[in-house]
């Protein structure tokens, strides 16, 4: 019997709260799930992503650039609407 070699992928999870649920997204695969806790949302995302990748394997993974920006809550424009904090956010690639 032939055995398939398993390859581990390191993927990104973006988690945010929406009302009483946590929403988890994997930008590389495009999968989304939710749960009542962060742990549940992440577990559901892992399961959804695993099932998705069984049917649609990823080729080359393009890592997203993660940054934050500020915007006035009332939508009022200032001289500089977006201020990036990218230099302060370190991305460490798990090798």
Please tell me the pTM assigned to this model.
Answer: 0.65
For residue range 2-38, list pLDDT tens digits in order: 555 567 888 999 999 999 999 999 999 999 999 999 9
- Is a pLDDT exceeding 90 seen at residue 42? yes
Give the dihedral sign, CA 68/73/75/77.
negative
d(CA 95, CA 26): 19
Tell whether the model's pLDDT for residue 89 goes beyond 70. Answer: no
Cβ atoms 78, 71 nearer than 8 A = no
């Amino acid at each position: 019997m032939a055995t398939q070699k398993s390859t581990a992928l390191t993927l990104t999870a973006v988690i945010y709260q929406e009302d009483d649920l946590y929403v988890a997204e994997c930008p590389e695969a495009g999968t989304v799930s939710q749960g009542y806790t962060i742990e549940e949302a992440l577990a559901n995302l892992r399961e959804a992503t695993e099932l998705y990748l069984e049917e649609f394997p990823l080729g080359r993974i393009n890592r997203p650039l993660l940054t934050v920006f500020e915007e006035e809550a009332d939508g009022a424009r200032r001289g500089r609407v977006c201020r990036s904090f990218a230099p302060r956010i370190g991305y460490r690639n798990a090798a």
